[in-house]
Amino acid sequence: MANPNFDTFNRAGTIADQASFDVGLRAHMVRVYNYMASGLALSGIVAFGLFSSPEVAGLFFQVQVGRVVGLNMLGWIAIFAPLGLLLLTSFRAAKMSVGAVQAVYWAVTALMGVSLSLLLFRYTGASVARTFFVTAAAFGALSLYGYTTKRDLTAMGKFLFMGVIGLILAGLVNMIWPSGTMSFIISAAGVLIFSGLIAYDTQKIKEQYSDAWGTEMVEKIAIFGALSLYLDFVNLFQFLMMFLGQERE
């Protein structure tokens, strides 16, 4: 793995350049975490808004006695739209302006609030809050590890990516042939995989900043980094809910 400090001593040869890089990196990570926290807040507002307003929830879900029993057409669109936006962005990332990338980020996080609202309909508010704080604590520890470790996590990233593909395929199979045992295995694997991805993506964000240091790409990289960590957090939260969530009666 390349030196996360971008070999600034070798390239510039001055302590001032190293200090400037370190200050810039810290500011960059703060920007990434601020974007991520704002995205989580937006998702939470959307989710709580849908849960609190049966009229609005009815636009997306079929709700009976406080429970979601199905999705309307708009609901299916809202749930799959983030995937479409992410795929579109992955092909046009280099050509997109900072404003366009920001618009995609806020659109994805807002739409994710629709699917996250399903957790509020299914689980008690206390268990959702408890699991959120557990996820936040785990995220903080794992991200700190990814930021400070000297170990190269590149190989682990490739393994984790294959794990995500396996999760998707297993999830599709479990939708066709539901199995409680399979659901448990998928949830346990999901917790492990996205825990690893938090550390891996944090380290990758540092490396990306090194490559973009001193260029106009830094802001776009901050947004994409925040999106990666946001998705890691949300997925870890959803899988932990399978273990820690208490279903409504």
Q: Give the count of beta carbons closer than 10 Å to the beta carbon of residue 123.
A: 20
pLDDT the model gives residue 44: 96
Calculate mean pLDDT across residues 29-42. Answer: 96
Please state the domain extents for the chain: 8-244
Calculate mean pLDDT across residues 28-34. Answer: 94
Dihedral angle of Cα 113, 118, 123, 126, to the nearest 10 degrees: 20
Q: Which amino acid is at 13?
A: G
pLDDT the model gives residue 195: 95
Nearest to 234 by CA among 31, 74, 43: 43
Q: Are 37 and 234 in contact (CB under 8 A)?
A: no
> Taking 50 as the threshold, does the pLDDT of residue 13 lie above it?
no
Q: Which amino acid is at 151?
A: R
pTM summary value: 0.88
Q: Are 75 and 61 in contact (CB under 8 A)?
A: yes
Q: How far apart are CA 54 and CA 58, in angstroms?
A: 6
> Taking 90 as the threshold, does the pLDDT of residue 113 lie above it?
yes
Task: Give the tokens for residue 50.
Answer: 């849908």
Residue 61 bridge partners (DSSP): 71
pLDDT the model gives residue 9: 33
pLDDT the model gives residue 214: 64
Q: How far apart are CA 192 and CA 3, in angstroms?
A: 27
Size (the chain), residues: 249
- For 161-205, how does the pLDDT look when each residue is reduced to its tens digit (9 = 90+)? 899 999 989 888 888 888 888 888 999 999 999 999 999 999 999
Q: Residue 147's pLDDT band (boundaries 50, 70, 90)?
A: very high
